[in-house]
Structure 1
Amino acid sequence: MPVYLYWGEDDFAIAQAVESLKTEVLDPNWLDFNYHKLAGDVAENIIEALNQALTPVFGAGERFVYVTNASVTQQCSENLLSQLTQKIPLIPQTSHLVLTTPKKPDRRLKSTKLLEKYSEVKNFDLIPPWETDKLCQQVKLVAEKLNLNLSQAAVVFLVEAIGNDTRKLWNEMTKLSIYQGENNQVLDKENISKLVISSTQNSLQLAKAIKDGNSALALSLATDLLNHNEPALKIVATLTGQFRRWTIIRLMTEAREKDDKIIAKLAEISNPYRIRYLKQEIRHLNSSTLLSMLPILLELEHNLKSGNQALSSLSTAIVLLC
């Protein structure tokens, strides 16, 4: 099938899939003639991509047309739909039209139904951070591809340190592969804990420690993050986002909203099934407590942007939040 629709939040996995297909079908000597990349947020570019896909291959190999951030599965004019309907069935097997989008396709649209009929559709959503079994399986899969021999303790450590960040997982695992070299010994947690940089997942652990009032653990996590060169503003962004989500969920719960889909939409959470998990995290807190934390985080962001020292600013805010 010469048309591909890749969608989901895991942009790194999408990029890997696109690059793999590109390498498979293109002759590197004819790359300049047979490879085209266009931004898909403009209807004219979608039409241009269709025309390029219909153009015969020049020289050796096949043709590869890559459309990024394709909006055609979210909105589509009648003119563009007409172009898609006419041209997609005519794309030859020697051409490959790849459309990518971070958003879930709207299956109510005629354009989406058309693409589902003629395309290879693949979902690249991130694994939810609470599905640790799947995250462990992902670590083992990457380790297998890189010929890394990891103990179960090392796998669990990597899940805790990296979370569902696919790009960071590959970067850290590649680093471990270089460290291991020709030695095929089993790498344990002790071997890799000083090599792997924990960031986003530890920022979420920091948010949890603050939520639970564990100031000692929170201060330790904040110090570790800064010692690993994690930008302070990035830490604050993660904290603010998490506390904002918790606050919205708690407010809606206290308002007796039963529909998790409505809550997820307001909290800007793509997977409504995650709401039940987040409700459990904040079951011992009320909305007033959570609301009182947001101004402290806002002031912390202001202090950091004003040039204040990162560790002291974070420490002061943590004490106030806990």
Structure 2
Amino acid sequence: MSENPPVVYLLHGEDEFAMAQFIEQISGKLGEPATADMNTTRLEGNTLDLEKLAGMAGATPFLASRRLVIIDNPTRRLSQKAQQDRFIQIIENLPASTALVLVENKNLKESHWLVKWSRSSGKRAFIKAFSVPKGGAMANWIRTHAKKQGGEFAHQAASLLAELVGSDVRQAALEIDKLLAYVNYSRPVEMDDVDHVAASTSGQGDYFAFMDALGNGNGRAAMDMMHKLLEEQEPLQLFFGLIGQFRLLLLTREVIEEGGTEASAVEALGIHPFRAKKLYGHAKSLNLNTLEAIYHRLLDYDAEIKTGKIKPELALDTLVATLTI
């Protein structure tokens, strides 16, 4: 008889791509996509109602063995000890038929109250940190990911791609898929392939100009620049790039809120100083609430794209129009 799986999964860190893959694995065990969709609920920590959560997360699954409840950044509004105690009481009483996934888009310290609870809960809780690979670690990640996809990267090719994508794991995965298709999975990807196919740094200037226009609310310029960028890359690639960019802007703004400097941002983000400097300049002109709202809107569009409710190009057009009104 197999052991019961964990009821609570605490995923924390900045590697959103890896966390999304982990959640997909759990979702895949619920059965057919339609069944999984009926038994999946996603909530935001910003609007979390603890009493509604208690009823929702404890509900019996429909035509499936488990019910999946995902909460993004659940601790954001749980600043009071009484709220934290009530949250723990709720998750401690969840049935084995519930899989509650708590996603924190930052690294939690061992002293964090939710980490401490997870560590003390034995097999009922699962905890995993998802750190973004950087430098040589990113090159290794590229080679490992390519192997999982049935392909291969030469060492120098992986190092070059790692330099181009920085710490953007989602972008790296997109480039890997594109490059493996380019060589038809028949040989290792070489440096020349990366030079020829992968997104190069030459387009960064236009991309930063696009972000400038977005940040300044210049709708006409942003729309024009976006369509020029779409001549060079697929809508889905550009959209995922925006998700990564606004995640970095949000992290940079948090550095600023804590009194950090440009140098602090370079160290915290682990990316090229030029890119970090541009992000710092953008983040200074946007408040934290605005960035959180934009980022969550991007995540909403991301979910709609994945479920076929909206096309990537329409999502981009709508996003730019909404942000620059």
- TMscore range, shorter length: 0.5 to 0.7
Deviations 1:208-250 (A, max 9, x none): xxxxxxxxxxxxxxxxxx996799xx9xx99xx9xx9xxx9xx
The number of aligned residues is 234
Q: What secondary structure, in the 3-state scheme, does the structure 1 residue paired with 2:102 have? A: strand
Q: TM-score, normalized by length of structure 2? A: 0.58
Q: What secondary structure, in the 3-state scheme, does the structure 1 residue paired with 2:126 have? A: strand
Q: Output aligned runs, 1:113-124, within 5 Å.
A: 113-118=116-121, 119-124=125-130
Tell me by how many angstroms 1:262 deviates.
9.0
In 1, Cα distance between the equivalents of 2:150 and 2:130? 24
Q: In the alignment, does 2:63 pair up with 1:66?
A: no
- Deviation beyond 6 Å, 4+ runs, structure 1: 200-203, 261-266
In 1, Cα distance between the equivalents of 2:151 and 2:37? 36
Structure-1 residue corresponding to 2:197: 195
Gaps of 5+ in 1: 207-225, 249-260, 282-292, 302-322
**Cα distance 1:6–1:185, how it changes in 2: closer, same or farther (>3 A)?**
same
**Cα distance 1:192–1:112, how it changes in 2: closer, same or farther (>3 A)?**
closer
In 1, Cα distance between the equivalents of 2:198 and 2:78? 42
- RMSD between superposed Cα atoms in Å: 4.2
Structure-2 residue corresponding to 1:49: 53
Tell me by how many angstroms 1:84 deviates.
2.4
Gaps of 5+ in 2: 1-5, 209-228, 286-325
Tell me by how many angstroms 1:18 deviates.
1.4
Structure-2 residue corresponding to 1:184: 186
Deviations 1:124-171 (A, max 9, x none): 22123xxx3212210111110111122222122211222221011111
Q: In the alignment, does 2:38 pair up with 1:36?
A: no
In 1, Cα distance between the equivalents of 2:57 and 2:158? 43
Q: What secondary structure, in the 3-state scheme, does the structure 2 residue paired with 1:71 have? A: helix
**Cα distance 1:55–1:269, how it changes in 2: closer, same or farther (>3 A)?**
farther
Aligned AA (2:192): E
Tell whether the 8 Å contact from 1:40 to 1:67 is kept in structure 2 after alignment: yes
Deviations 1:20-46 (A, max 9, x none): 2211235434234311111112341x4
Tell me by how many angstroms 1:177 deviates.
2.3
In 1, Cα distance between the equivalents of 2:143 and 2:263? 35
Deviations 1:33-77 (A, max 9, x none): 311111112341x443343222222222311001112225x7433
Deviations 1:249-306 (A, max 9, x none): xxxxxxxxxxxx997898346759x7xx98xx9xxxxxxxxxxx99xx89xx9xxxxx
In 1, Cα distance between the equivalents of 2:200 and 2:145? 18
Q: Percent identity?
A: 20
Aligned AA (1:70): P
Structure-2 residue corresponding to 1:9: 14
- For the pair shown, the structure with the greater C-alpha radius of gyration is 1
Structure-2 residue corresponding to 1:287: none
**Cα distance 1:117–1:270, how it changes in 2: closer, same or farther (>3 A)?**
farther
Structure-2 residue corresponding to 1:222: none
Deviations 1:182-214 (A, max 9, x none): x522332123321101249977xx9xxxxxxxx
**Cα distance 1:94–1:145, how it changes in 2: closer, same or farther (>3 A)?**
same
Aligned AA (1:267): S
Tell whether the 8 Å contact from 2:39 to 2:64 is kept in structure 1 after alignment: no
Q: TM-score, normalized by length of structure 1? A: 0.59
